[in-house]
Amino acid sequence: MDVAYQMNEQYTGNSKKQKNASLGILWNVINIYQHSSNISNRLLGAYDLPLSQYVLLSLFMSSPEEGRTVTSISHALHQNQPTISKIVQKLLQKGLIAAYPTAHDARSKILKITQKGVDVYDHASTTLEGALEPIFNEWSQPDINMLVSQLQMIRSYLETRA
């Protein structure tokens, strides 16, 4: 029996510790993240694109015309600036994003996704979607919507209290 299953049994309605169900939910979310990260990194390796870089490209693709700074990316992803700076440098070296000087501060750069970045992101997304699609093939749309809604509630709670 794997650890995630044991933790789930320990913290769900199948035990007397129902009041600690939040720990079971947290454990499962962490476990899902670990598995999905491993799968994603393996698949994204074909594009020389670790998951951390794919996440940044996803942020740029949410509004491709909008320029971003390291600070704005850091805030949006709840990551520290040195970490974001390292990822940005890798994306710049690969030509997936470009840096432009700002008018008001020569030290600050506006970052935008390049056409190459859009193309790599689109191909990588297609690969990920194809690999992850079977997980939800038998789910109804209302079930998917409910899960997404509940996950957004958890994320929102954590983001406002972090």
Alpha carbon 31 to chain centroid distance?
15
Residue 1's pLDDT band (boundaries 50, 70, 90)? very low
Percent of the chain with pLDDT over 70: 88
Q: What ranges do the domains of the chain cover?
A: 1-47, 48-161
pLDDT (tens digit, 9 = 90+) per residue, 89-118?
999 999 999 999 988 877 789 999 999 999
Beta bridge partners of 100: 110
Among 92, 128, 93, 84, CA closest to 113: 92
Helix (H) or strand (E) holding 109, with range, is strand 109-113
Decide: residue 41, CB within 10 A, 0-12 exposed, 13-18 middle, 19+ buried: middle
Q: Residue 103: its pLDDT value, please?
A: 80
* CATH code for the part of the protein at 48-161: 1.10.10.10
Q: The whole model's pTM is what?
A: 0.79
Rounded Cα distance, 52 and 136, in Å: 24
Structure tokens belonging to residue 58: 């996803």
Alpha carbon 105 to chain centroid distance?
30
User: Per-residue pLDDT for 16 more than 80?
Assistant: no
User: Per-residue pLDDT for 64 more than 90?
Assistant: no
